Amino acid sequence: MLRFDFTGRTAVVTGAGGGMGEAIARMLLAAGANVTAIDVKPRPETLPAHERLVFAQGDLRDLAFVEKTIGDAYARTGRLDHLANVAGVLWFGRDRSFLDIDLAVWDEVMDINLKTMLLTARVAVPLMKKTGAGSMVHFSTIQWLRGDAKPQEAYQASKAGVCALSKSIAMQCAADGIRSNAVLPGPALTPLQARWDSDEILKAVSGYVPIGRIGTPEDMANAALFLLSDAAGFITGTELVVDGGVLMRT
């Protein structure tokens, strides 16, 4: 297991109610960080109680909630060092081709997957400036880099926007010592992938990945912690693909 030291640091993690976000929150906690974990879902039983962990349940589209939750994290510890934007939705069946997607679905996916990132970053940056530096990681997907025979149009477009906004944040905030990068997961076994509901499907997906297995939330969390850590201190405005080699097949 990779070892990181975030002792004394303060981190905010969205989408921490399961999957990749929960894995990041757990790893940051284990590495010594003060963690504010956010999700619209209730706190999962698998996220352990800890004096350095605060779980905030609420809607990240609500600016007042975002301001209070991130502001409280800063007030409790006197600093804000890290932001991991992991919250997002992938709505199979509802999110379809641009030719027939319900525009209300399009707007809602954009709000959840992209606008929430704008809100959290806008609240976090002034607090990171007060701290003296900071780092952010935002979760996108390899799917925005290619088309799809069964497209989730709003999802892919919103995740392309995540990368564009991440780069813009990186450029605007570099002089303040604030870094911004994106993680692009490939196939990963998380609650979003409820369609992988049989051993046959899991075997087929694993066989498609050159490295021979499906990714885990911990694979993605390792990448995120690296980008958040001082070990990535000279890395900003980039995208880290974590896909087991899937993009080599395109």
> Hey, which residues are catalytic here?
155
CB-based contacts of 102, cutoff 8 Å, min separation 6: 94
Of 135, 136, 99, 100, nearest in space to 117 by CA? 136
Q: Say how many C-beta atoms besides its own lie within 10 A of residue 185's C-beta.
A: 27
Q: Say how many C-beta atoms besides its own lie within 10 A of residue 197's C-beta.
A: 9
CB-based contacts of 197, cutoff 8 Å, min separation 6: none
Amino acid at 173: C
Q: Say how many C-beta atoms besides its own lie within 10 A of residue 209's C-beta.
A: 17
Q: Edge-to-edge, what's the strand order for the sheet holding 82-85? A: 53-57, 34-39, 10-14, 82-85, 134-139, 178-185, 239-242
Distances (CA, A) of 239 to 38, 139, 182, 211: 23, 9, 5, 20
